[in-house]
Structure 1
């Protein structure tokens, strides 16, 4: 008894303990009295006996009521035992209350057992068990119990019908809902307002808004619940405007709103993105006294409203003022920070949440914080959340594991996602879609397609997300046939009218190089095609190098469709013009953008900066930059890059000196290129200091750029130290070191570095062989150069490109093997680039082969008639051969065409620039 009492003292609150203590005392006093006075109770008057039983029953009800406030299976069983000992279980009121308590604790089996133990069941007891089934989402069983209740002759009451209608609402059973509605009318109970409110809610939940609205209009007596039911019904069916309309109608009536009304109105304003209306509702709620500490639901709605409308400070203010917060409050605020870029604040709030005794992070908290780690590729933080999930034993929840898999995929940790997938005890369609999409996004097309085939064998009724997950795996001409089969599968499942699916298929065909199929599909959906459809085509062509086609689709969009372009369209078109070096068309697009609101879009302005940089028009780029009032770091990077690309390194450094943002790796790489152009070491050293200051010294691309800078500034020893101190030697660093050795005429070290690179497991790239062939060309290593050229694909899997062909022609040309160089050019599978013929022309000039040089020059004149260097090379060959007449004629042509060769120049460091920031 002592241990039992200690247990009660530990588990139950004081007010419950006092009630239990009183009942126990009475129980033991009565037992002692029976022991010492045998039949003394029988000798009591009937009035005293009834008073004793009534007092015990009241204490039992008090205990059950207290336990019901915070249901707990241990407390429920203790009270159940005391009820039996007190002899109060025969009272249906006590049995009904115990049944409800067991249901709320989650031990529904005890509720069913208790129901079976009672023989004389009344209507209230049946109502309690049906409510318990609904609480545990057993809606069909609740309906079966109602049928059984009617079959046993038990009369139902309005509360019974409300419970049944609730089950039908949750089960979305409109047909049976109408039957119960008819039964309510037939039984004469429909006049009860709370039953009418349930009918309104049932029709709305089942999607029959017309019946819900009609029944609401026919009600004679409407209360606040009636109005809330119709307002929330339209909100539930995404009819936000009509929901707010009913709110206005309610304000015109005599009914005053409450917390539920305000919560629904705020939710509608959130979905409509109506900041003004939401603020007005907020003020109305303050006037009604609904925005106080005890109205948690209203405060939660306001947090979500202000967060989604990007006023996170207002959301945080409401959150801080809440005296009582539940887990929904914390989750809403965490999501609010995440939506508004407050990543650190979101994690800080999650940390603080763990120290609040009344609240514990739940599944919603996890699936809110994990997408932040996914989108920002915060692998370390994601692993910490994973550890938290394991500690809180949430790893069995499918939604949590699916979010974890997505996070690891977004952070390029494919192995961890695979481990989670294969060790999951149960998988759903979302799990498979996450895996397929993760494989596709990480370049593992074969794995994605293989898993997709396995999914079809397991579940043929796949959904649209499955289609959207598998399509990114079809991103090359080799995947075209598989993509076409996906298109057929998409038609078979009936997604023909889904614009999102059609847009994804169009993009797939473009990535696979089948522009005809993409164009045909676009024509088929032309009636339904929106701006996103056209953007998919234009952007897809731009991203995959089909620049002319992108411009043609843009012209077609403007001429043949009724869809207007937006900033995304113009960004892609501007990029196409820049890549094609179409200065006039680019300026026309710029003018077109200025006539529309898209002209102020920062992404479009940055694209224009990049385009003018490619045109060499740095003045136009500067004009755009300084006439724009909205800059981000990308804007500064674009203008610095424009100056650097056009060999105006001094202006690039001056711009970097007044940079308004903290530089990123792109900024540093670009400015290092400017220092390399100037060849002035002290500027490079200052940038090197910035690299350590901002923590970029571990970035492999920064290390490679730094190595190039020191090499070009004549400090090969420092470049070698930078390479050796790099924590992770990337292929870029190896390429830069090979180029540095070649630049300093250390041929043997360059070749040995290449061999070390292969031995370390690094696969060479195109740039690797460009550097090697350049080294061989300048060192006269013809045989070595031929070996690298002939084996780069067969041995190392690198396809020769124009740069490699140019280097090979230069190697053969410098050694006097002009005929071999000519044969190499003629055997190329692709049309020779002017750069290849230009290298061959230089070799002809160097060795004085006038006949072959003149033939090559004629080819170059037709390919690039405005390039003066070809005319000068041929003219020098005429002069060297004593062919003065032809040389004079060629000079005359140069003058008539007004061709000028850029003048050479040298740089002098006069110390006018300082890059200290």
Structure 2
């Protein structure tokens, strides 16, 4: 018996829908039209489905609008067509116009929104659906749980799980797998295990999801064991499962996975090789998905020869394959090899994508080739925040702080939202060039982004304000932090020490220990610096005892700080004993010891130690020469001073700077060889350094050289007109020579320019604390009859701010 015409045409449409055959489908559409069946709602619905499957949304829309009385299936069909075509706005409009909505209508919209990246809106639709009194299906839960997974919305996922239990769908395999995916992605592996262990018949999707969650949480060994169980239980193994477990083995070498030790890494590569053998057995090794996972495994374990071997064995590679190989060389910091791979990639006819350039960018930054990194960065059409962070970090690492700040400004203009890493890097750059004004702007940006309370960002703010001398602001940020780590405490202590708030540094060090924080080498180095600044030997010895107790006495930086402290406190013999006991020394340790001898008038010992250093593998730097030139100056070794100045450039390739010339001029000045000092000044490139002229002027005052003293004073009047020292020194020179008119003229000039002589003070440390003694307002400036008033350091007094 022949089928009715409508049923025959419907069957034809079904076959063309299955085959996605647009042209024959259009022919059937023409037959429907010629047979006068265009008003048939059922056939029209099938036509919408045909055009939807063939990605012809415009035809589907025309058919829908031609239906005289569309039913709920018609509405669902056109909404589904719009969703498949990614026209979510039109789908939403049609959904709002629907006279009657059923569960399928809601499921279609929720699924489309979740797939289209509008996960939050998908959740809103889900909650509206519940309010409408409709019961969700397994398809509803799958879409909603997918949205929760992508949003990392664990609490919403838990609520969805609860409703699935309530409606009896929690044991549906489709829902169970969606729950596994949600819990693993949200980091709740324990919940995922509970679901997995309760599953009656877990399939390959279940095992793969669980393995992926374990990999993400850093449990590579657990993932490998689960794969073994999957294999033993006879669960079909597909390329996705193989790739997942290979990812777990690769993760075992991931530097960011702090949970993994060396044994885990060895385990990872051994299991990876076993999985490679299994993939060969099943014939999966030639597939790009498994092949790329193998390349990634070997690349992450640093075996680039093996990685290239797999790469070359693949019958067909793709851009992903090239990117993994380039990223492998980038991980090793081999930027040259990574760039060569880029050239080979292009010669092979593959066009690099954004991932390629991001991998190259990371390679160049890691190898320190920031110029090449910037070139790669500029090739990224729309760099994301990770790419910005990489190049900004590169500039910061090479101390190109100004370039980092300029690039950050460009990032702002391109409306890329900074994250915690971005802000921390830029705050570090502001610290590096002491740029508190911009640091305050970054602080404001962190508040707008709600990141100012993030420990990483707050630590950067404390460090920036501390290093820039804004101690009050640093303290305010520190006090507002909801939680603090040792880095935050160290930033405050080093800030106090750096700006001579030595009492506060001690107080914070004590509070840090009382708060259960164990000091690090940075804590000890800072607080020892404060002891040195206060010349407080008793406190320094106490801290030294704690350092020994905590095992930091062999740390180079702490050791160098201890040498400096003992030397500044005058106990140079103990400083040398500690120096000799250090198992490892760097140039800072040598410099501190040489400078310690110089400070304490032991010039010959300083020179002897310097000569001994030259016989070792340690190379002197510019600071070393400042120390040895100072030693020569303080001990009257003029010829040695001149010899070392001459050797700087000739033997060591170090260009003398203003500080070196200052030491030499001081040495010549002390010896009364002012003519030679004048010749040195004429030859040196840095003539606008006021310290050089101050040293020369002091020497002229000692030796009564009015002519040269006048030249030095005139330079200082030009460079620093409000500094009282040159006026007083020049006036004293004239007075000592009996040139009273000239002395009066200098004092008149000082009065005319409103220059005020700074009052001097002395201080002492006893059992009751540190006391400072300052010249009283009634004291005679010339120093014949001065009354001294005592004040205790630590009180809130304008004279105590430096303390």
The TM-score by the shorter chain falls in which range? 0.5 to 0.7
CA RMSD of aligned residues (A): 5.8
Task: Report the Cα distance in structure 2 between the residues aligned to 1:730 and 1:841, rounded to whole angstroms.
Answer: 37
Q: Secondary structure at the match of 1:461?
A: coil
Match of 2:733 among 867, 877, 901: 877
Say which SS state the counterpart of residue 792 (structure 1) adopts.
helix
User: Which of 358, 364, 387 is residue 229 of structure 2 equivalent to?
Assistant: 358
> What do residues 213-261 of structure 1 show as CA deviations (whole Å, max 9, x unaligned)?
8999999999989976764443233121443355346546786435564
Q: 1:385 offset after TM fit, Å?
A: 1.5
Contact 1:234–1:240 (CA under 8 A) maintained in structure 2: yes
Report the 3-state secondary structure (helix = DSSP H, G, I; strand = E; otherwise coil) of the residue aligned with 2:764: coil
**C-alpha contact (below 8 Å) 1:449/1:470 kept by paired residues:** yes
What is the aligned partner in structure 1 of residue 534 from structure 2?
678
The superposition leaves residues 765-812 of structure 1 with CA deviations (integer Å, 9 ceiling, x where unpaired) of 332333233223323344443444344355434444443343343344
TM-score with structure 2 length normalisation?
A: 0.64
In structure 2, what is the Cα distance between the partners aligned to 1:566 and 1:260?
46
Aligned counterpart for 1:833 among listed residues 677, 683, 689:
689
Change (3 A) 1:484 1:265: closer
Shift of 1:619: 5.9
Q: Is the 8 A contact 2:148 2:157 kept in 1?
A: yes
- Matched residue, 1:234: 113
In the alignment, is the contact (CA less than 8 A) between 2:493 and 2:508 conserved in 1? Answer: yes
1:332 aligned onto 2:242: no
Matching of residue 430 in structure 1 with residue 323 in structure 2? yes
SS of 1:658's equivalent in the other structure is helix
Match of 2:700 in 1: 844
**Structure 1, residues 524-565: CA drift from partner, whole Å, max 9, x if none?**
x997445659x89994995597778x96x899xxxxxxxxx6
| Offset of residue 644 of structure 1 | 1.9
Within-5 A mapping of 1:154-233? 231-233=110-112
| Separation (CA, whole Å) in 2 of partners of 1:329 and 1:769 | 63
The answer on 1:262 being equivalent to 2:141 is yes
Cα distance in 2 between the residues matched to 1:515 and 1:359: 55
CA contact (8 A) 1:644 1:673 kept: yes
- Answer whether contact 1:433 1:465 (CA < 8 A) is retained: no
**Runs of 5+ in structure 2 lacking a partner?**
1-17, 25-50, 64-71, 199-205, 232-243, 277-289, 771-803
Q: Deviations over 1:891-916 (max 9, x none)?
A: 5666743341452323235589xxxx
Shift of 1:888: 5.0
Partners of 1:833 and 1:526 in 2: CA distance: 39
- 1:567 corresponds to 2:443: yes
1:284 aligns with 2:163: yes
Check 1:833–1:284 CA distance in 2 against 1; reply closer, same or farther (3 A cut): farther
Deviations 1:853-883 (A, max 9, x none): 2222222233233333344433433343333
1:646-665 mapped onto 2 (5 Å cutoff): 646-659=499-512, 660=515, 661-665=517-521
SS at match of 1:761: coil
Give 1:656 deviation, angstroms: 1.0
The answer for the alignment partner of 1:96 in structure 2 is none
1:900 and 1:387 map into 2 onto residues whose CA distance is 71
- Alpha-carbon spacing, 1:508–1:698, altered in 2? closer, same or farther (3 Å): closer
Deviations for 1:724-772, whole angstroms, at most 9, x for unmatched residues? 5544433323333333343455545544544554554334333233323
1:903 aligns with 2:756: no
Deviates more, 1:788-797 or 1:651-660: 788-797
Where in structure 2 are the equivalents of 1:346-495 lying within 5 Å? 358=229, 362-368=245-251, 370-371=253-254, 373-374=255-256, 381=261, 384-386=264-266, 388-393=268-273, 399=293, 402=296, 426=312, 428-431=321-324, 433-434=326-327, 437-438=330-331, 461-468=351-358, 490=379, 495=381
Q: 1:643 to 1:541 in 2, by over 3 A?
A: closer
1:323 equivalent to 2:197? Answer: yes
315-324 or 825-834: bigger deviation: 315-324
**Are the aligned partners of 1:319 and 1:333 in contact in 2 as well (CA < 8 Å)?**
no
* Residue 670 (structure 1) shift: 0.5
d(CA) in 1 for partners of 2:485 and 2:144?
Answer: 37
Whether the 8 Å CA contact 1:825–1:832 is kept in 2: the answer is no
The alpha-carbon deviation at position 417 of structure 1 amounts to 7.7
Secondary structure class of the residue paired with 1:905: strand
Aligned 8 A contact 1:792 1:800 in 2: yes
Could you tell me which residue of structure 1 aligns to residue 36 of structure 2?
none
> Are residue 780 (structure 1) and residue 636 (structure 2) matched?
yes
Name the TM-score, length of structure 1 as normaliser.
0.57
The answer as to 2:564 corresponding to 1:708 is yes
Q: Indicate how the Cα distance of structure 1 residues 567 and 527 shifts in structure 2: closer, same or farther if over 3 A, else same.
A: closer
Residue 624 (structure 2) pairs with residue 768 (structure 1): yes
Q: SS of the residue aligned with 1:907? A: strand
**1:671 shift after superposition:** 0.8
Listed one character per residue, the Cα deviations across residues 815-847 of structure 1 (whole Å, up to 9, x for unaligned) are 444344444444444563323333333333343
* CA–CA separation in structure 2 for the residues paired with 1:254 and 1:849: 102
* Contact 1:366-1:400 within 8 A present in 2 as well: no
- 2:400 and 2:357 map into 1 onto residues whose CA distance is 20
How many Å separate the matches in 1 of 2:724 and 2:196? 76
Task: Work out whether 1:638 is the aligned partner of 2:518.
Answer: no
In structure 2, the CA distance between the partners of 1:318 and 1:831, relative to structure 1 (3 Å rule), is: farther
The residue aligned with 2:781 is: none
CA 1:615–1:248: 2 relative to 1, 3 Å: closer
The question of whether the paired residues in 1 share the 8 Å contact of 2:723 and 2:755 is answered with no
Unaligned runs of 5+ in 1: 1-130, 132-141, 148-172, 186-192, 337-345, 409-415, 556-564, 571-592, 913-917
Paired positions, count:
665
Q: Structure 2 CA distance, aligned partners of 1:263 and 1:807?
A: 77
Distance 1:737 1:281, change over 3 A: same
Contact 1:696 1:702 in 2 (8 A): yes
Instruction: Give me the whole-angstrom Cα distance separating, in 2, the residues matched to 1:298 and 1:690.
Output: 55
- Matched position secondary structure for 1:708: helix
Separation in 2, partners of 1:617, 1:300: 50
Distance, in Å, in 2 between the alignment partners of 1:422 and 1:738 is 53
Asked whether 1:854 is paired with 2:710, we answer: yes
* Contact kept in structure 1, 2:215 and 2:223, CA below 8 Å: no
Q: CA deviation at 1:467?
A: 3.7
CA positional deviation for 1:469: 5.1
Alpha-carbon distance between aligned partners in 2 of 1:461 and 1:212, rounded to the nearest angstrom: 36
Q: Paired residue for 1:36?
A: none
The 1-side partners of 2:688 and 2:102 are apart by: 84
Q: Give the corresponding residue for 1:92.
A: none
1:694, 1:471 → 2: CA distance? 41
Counterparts of 2:431 and 2:339, CA distance in 1: 22
Residues 652, 671 of structure 1: 8 Å contact kept: yes
**Structure 1 residues 870 and 814: alpha-carbon distance in aligned structure 2, compared to 1, 3 A threshold:** same
Deviation at 1:711, TM superposition (A): 3.4
1:733 corresponds to 2:733: no
C-alpha spacing 1:760/1:634, structure 2 compared with 1 (3 Å): same
Tell whether 2:156 aligns with 1:303: no
Secondary structure of the corresponding residue to residue 806 of structure 1: helix
